[in-house]
Amino acid sequence: MKQFYPNRFKDKVIILTGAARGIGEATAIRAAKEGAKLVLADRLKEEGERVLNAVRAEGGTAIFLNLDLSAEEHAEQMVDAAVKTYGHLDIAINNAGVMGNPSPLHELEQEQMDYTMANNFYSVFFCCKHEIREFMKEGNGGVIVNNASIAGLTGLPGNPAYVASKHAVNGLTKNLALDYARYGIRINSVNPAGTTTPMVAEAYEYVKNHREAAIKAGMDPAKAQSMAGQKLTSMLEREATAEEQAASILFLVSDDATHMTGATVQTDGGWTSF
């Protein structure tokens, strides 16, 4: 998707987590083209620096912070760096997350659940906490978009940790929208289905290998196929592109969405509607 709106985010300071690839990368590139001043954060250092260089090659203004946002002190450090670098904060896009390794509950170890919650829920909790504190300090309102998933709206067979973490993100989003509306702070979430990104590709590969291993171990192929248990397509019968997800995210943080808060927007090609 090559369309963009010049100067839509002129002089706006945007924090973007999970910026090193996929939806984060696409969002960074488009926001830069639309005039944003960016604070890019990711624990993938090499990939994050590549996105930083791509943003600057487009004439954008950005810094990159190599941070693991499952640690609260890193979320605080990120917000402090935004204000120190640009003087204020306008928008936050909390996009960082992991898929984890799908596992049914009776086989799920606490360490797996802890890892998924730390990277999908606590990272959002910590970021929102410190972003909201800064918005309240500045007194000019603010906008947050959290990246959840269709797994925050439905179940996904064999993946209770991911589903629980993304439902938690959507629950947090709604409650924060309620609590901070009086401060002029809008908070929404996006909920993608299959999107052409490295993380989704890795998840598909994991499921495929797990299914093939089950067949080799003697499981009936039809039963092994049903382990995934998922729809094969959305209404639109294709995956989204990272650029399409970026377009939805940037709409929600733009002035075209000033009456939207507490929304869990289905950016899923109709996946959760049938």
The residues assigned a catalytic role are 162
CA 87 to chain centre: 25
Q: E strands, the chain, where?
A: 13-17, 37-42, 61-66, 91-94, 142-147, 185-190, 195-196, 240-241, 264-265
Secondary element (H or E) of residue 19: none
CB environment 177-202: b (16+ within 10 A), e (fewer): beebeeeebbbbbbbbbbbbbeebee
Q: How far apart are CA 147 and CA 141, in angstroms?
A: 20
DSSP letter at 41 equals E
Secondary element (H or E) of residue 150: none
Q: How far apart are CA 233 and CA 240, in angstroms?
A: 11
Sorted by sequence, the CB contacts under 8 Å of residue 19 that are 6+ apart come out as 25, 27, 28, 38, 40, 41, 42, 48, 51, 64, 95
Q: Are 19 and 97 in contact (CB under 8 A)?
A: no
Q: How far apart are CA 230 and CA 204, in angstroms?
A: 12
